[in-house]
Structure 1
Amino acid sequence: MTKKKEPTVWQGFKAFLMRGNVIDLAVAVVIGAAFTNIVNSVVKGLINPLVGAIGTKNLDHYSVCLKDPPCVVNADGSVKSGVPIMWGSVAGATLSFVITAAVVYFLMVLPMAKYLARQEARKKAREGTHEVIEVTELAVLKEIRDTLVAQRTAGHDER
């Protein structure tokens, strides 16, 4: 019996890298990193000023003191007294995520889904047309065959 040689770690790694989805993932990460700058600009330039009309311009300043109100935070960011819950930071990050997800969905996923649906409909229409042509051609060929057989039979009957 011969043993089947197992691929080396390097060969497995090379096969993994050569798969198409790894390249797609790398492209998505690069585009996502660039897209993050756009979303952050929208949040800082548009959303924060709108929130600033109600309160502070920076969501990071919204907090609740959990213990020993009021919370005292030193200028360097260290907490002097109390336990501050920085819910504004969480709200800002959530808002950034929702905006990112909405933009990705409406500008990338939805148009691509519509495009793929149109391509599939065109493909089915072409296949449907092709089948009708084949059936029609087959029917015509049968008619021609039947006519030729009838002519041949009629020609033999006359002799």
Structure 2
Amino acid sequence: MKRIATYLAIAAIGAATACGATETSTTQPKIADTKTTVPVPTTTQPAPSTEAPQALAPSSAPTATQAATVPMPNVVCMNLQAAQNLIQKAGVFFSRSRDATGAGRMQVLDRNWVVVAQTPAPGVPIGEGDAVLSVVKKGEPGDCS
């Protein structure tokens, strides 16, 4: 905060002298030298205990939040983008896709790929990431055309 005030003071002095008379001044304004000291945190270690550690009592059943599931829509023979949109409309926003030829190609432009198989089958409840869509490029064998 002091640095900001110092810079503002320097700017104000510079602005005031720039708008003044045309005579040059030989005196220089003194700039306050500010130093910031940051305290170094120190930690103390507790003395070792001679008592035996006590076993923690087992907690009751874990309270994991279950993700909502929705029925998997039938997306076979749809372009990949439309299939993903339909799955998202059902309520699941993360689905996966893979190259059905086994070549490992990435699906960069989703609309250029056609879904030829899906896991799980239509109607099976799915959550985030459960839907796996096997795809081929448009015009390749098996593209439902």
**TM-score band (shorter)?**
under 0.3
In proportion to residue count, which structure has more helix? 1
Which structure: greater strand fraction?
2
- TM-score (normalised: structure 2): 0.20
